[in-house]
Amino acid sequence: MELRRQRLADVDPEVDHTERKSLELRPSLTPLIVGLIIALAAVVTRLAPFGDPVAHVDDQFYLLSGHAILQGDWPYVDIWDRKPVGLFLIYAGIAALGGAHSVAATHIIAGLFAAATALTIARIAERFATRWGGMLAGIAYLVCLPFFGGQTGQSPVFYNLLMGLAGLLLFQAAETEDHRAIVRKAMLAMLLCGLSMTIKQVTFIEGAYFGLAFLILGHRARIGSARLVAMALAMLVIALAPTAAALGVYQMTGRGEAFIFANFISIFLKNPVGGSSLSLGIVHLAKFLPPILVIGLWDYLPRAGAPLSLDRRLLLGWIFAASVGYLFVPYFFDHYALPLLVPLSIAGASVYSRRRGYVWLIGLTFLSIAFGHLFSFAKHAKRAATFNQLAEVTSRELHGGCLYVATGHTQLYTATGACRVTPFVFPDHLTTNAEVGATGVDSIAELRRIFAQRPAVVTTTIAKVELRNPAAETLIMNELRAHYRPVPWPKSPTPNKLSQIIIWSRIVRAPVPAN
């Protein structure tokens, strides 16, 4: 109780007596009540896209990869991408648990991860705020996820939990000068960071920050130089162990070269695509990040020039590390900003702890409804219905043959159970300028090989795709016009991107009779 009063006093030194008294009079929240409220918030904020099989383009591919693993396929060999293998193993588990209902399973399990992350945020935030403020900080994380494509199963939805738990261990270590306790928490945190790197490589930046912070805490606790060096080496080994273990499995099965190329080399071979991606990213962040930044950093502004507590310095360093991680990747995708939400939500807890702090959360919620499509139930329902029609017609036209999604939704492979004609099932890998020479194969030669196998159905879209490879597009359209016919299919009366997909069925020509 005394510690709680002290943390309450630390919410803001400038809070007047009346406001402080109102905080003290708030109903007491037990951890169980906080957990139940955050769980309810997770359901409410993630309900709109539930069951939508094409809610996000990346989720579709990850789920397809998960099903492929269950069938004996190997990532990077039989189905290609550059994401770490841990992400595909998560989706293999989802596919195993969900079976025919794996889309719903994806949304449920991703929701559990999001709720657990929000609970971790609430737990850490109590160091800077009241329990009420910590709970609102956790809810704010859930409310803000849709701004950056995090309402379904994007990779940060999974690894944010691991990084959040590593952060919790860091703050717990800051409470003690017990050498053994600091070392134990450091090693466990590095294991969590190592696991996160098997979901997304760029998390090594946050992991490096946590490692450095633990060393600073060790030095502060007067751990000797030799032991600090040993601690640093041990942390490095533990952080790299999960990736090393995955590489070892691939090496032992003769697939090591494919693993190394996909994970560590291919990203650096992507072609620059001009400033359009960066401009898009700046515009997107300018729309959605300012209110989150204002709330998160508000409590630091009155302290400009004043000394910060150790906890606040650690949190500020975490925000900086997450920002560097975002800027590290040259291409913009909205979900790259998701890791920023964890430390920023924690930092905003002191604002939420104030007498009318909930008003800030209400404002974020309205913004998420208006611009983040938080409650776009009708949109997801129409899209799901349209996709089901698309999948039904595609299945009918397959006649036991294989499918090639030249452009469109990889969920069609999962929904139809069709065989694949290439490991490069994610369309962009063969059809965009950015990927020319970055996948380890000649994209034009691979496309020729694909059509030589005569896939029964090919899908394309009339929607404009920026930065598409003209040579690839010409080859695809020449093949389609020569050997395929477009198949009509019932579309949604409301125009959307799904309605712009064209199903091409292979023309079966009767053999020419001999003279």
In this predicted structure, what is the pLDDT of residue 340? 94
Count of other CB atoms within 10 angstroms of residue 407: 22
Q: Measured on CA atoms in the order 336, 116, 138, 9, is the torsion positive or negative?
A: negative
In this predicted structure, what is the pLDDT of residue 287? 75
DSSP 265: I
Q: Does residue 193 contact residue 207 with C-beta atoms inside 8 Å?
A: yes
Mean pLDDT (whole number) for 110-125: 98
What is the Cα–Cα distance from 268 to 464, expressed in whole angstroms? 26
**Tokens of residue 423, six digits:** 């490991």
Q: Which of 1-10, 48-57, 194-203 has the lowest mean pLDDT?
A: 1-10
Angle between helices 102-125 and 155-173 (to 10 degrees): 20
H-type alpha helices, 71-154? 85-98, 102-125, 131-144
Q: Which band of pLDDT confidence, cut at 50, 70 and 90, is reported for residue 274? A: low
Q: Is the pLDDT of residue 34 over 90?
A: yes
CA angle 256, 158, 114 (to 5 degrees): 175
φ, ψ dihedrals at 152, nearest 5°: -120, -115
What is the Cα–Cα distance from 362 to 178, expressed in whole angstroms? 42
In this predicted structure, what is the pLDDT of residue 1? 40
Q: Measured on CA atoms in the order 432, 434, 437, 438, is the torsion positive or negative?
A: negative
Residues 6 or more apart from 508 whose CB is under 8 A from it? none
DSSP 407: S
More confident residue, 101 or 14: 101
457-461, strands of its sheet edge to edge: 419-420, 402-405, 457-461, 501-506, 484-487
Q: What is the mean pLDDT of the chain?
A: 89
pTM for the model stands at 0.92
Q: 491 in helix, strand or coil?
A: coil
Q: 276: number of CA atoms within 13 Å, CB side?
A: 6
Q: Which one, of 252, 146, 230, lies nearest residue 183 by Cα?
A: 230
| Amino acid in position 261 | F
Kindly compute the dihedral angle of the four CA atoms of residues 207, 107, 462, 503, in this order, to the nearest 10 degrees: 130
Residues 6 or more apart from 505 whose CB is under 8 A from it? 397, 456, 457, 484, 485, 486, 487
Q: Does residue 504 contact residue 490 with C-beta atoms inside 8 Å?
A: no
Q: Which of 4-18, 380-394, 460-474 has the lowest mean pLDDT?
A: 4-18
What is the Cα–Cα distance from 405 to 459, expressed in whole angstroms? 5
Each residue of 374-412: pLDDT tens digit?
A: 999 999 999 999 999 999 999 999 999 999 999 999 999
Q: Does residue 311 contact residue 350 with C-beta atoms inside 8 Å?
A: no
Give 405's strand partners.
Answer: 459
Mean pLDDT (whole number) for 143-158: 95
3-state secondary structure 136-167: HHHHHHHHHHHHHCCCCCCHHHHHHHHHHHHH
In this predicted structure, what is the pLDDT of residue 499? 83
In this predicted structure, what is the pLDDT of residue 491? 74
Q: Which of 4-13, 194-203, 433-442 has the lowest mean pLDDT?
A: 4-13
What is the Cα–Cα distance from 119 to 127, expressed in whole angstroms? 14
What is the Cα–Cα distance from 64 to 269, expressed in whole angstroms? 25
What is the Cα–Cα distance from 67 to 86, expressed in whole angstroms? 14
**Tokens of residue 338, six digits:** 């998701």
What is the Cα–Cα distance from 411 to 60, expressed in whole angstroms? 5
H-type alpha helices, 179-272? 179-197, 204-220, 225-252, 256-260
Q: Does residue 167 contact residue 217 with C-beta atoms inside 8 Å?
A: no
- Measured in Å, how far apart are the chain's first and last C-alpha atoms? 99
Q: Is the pLDDT of residue 494 over 80?
A: no
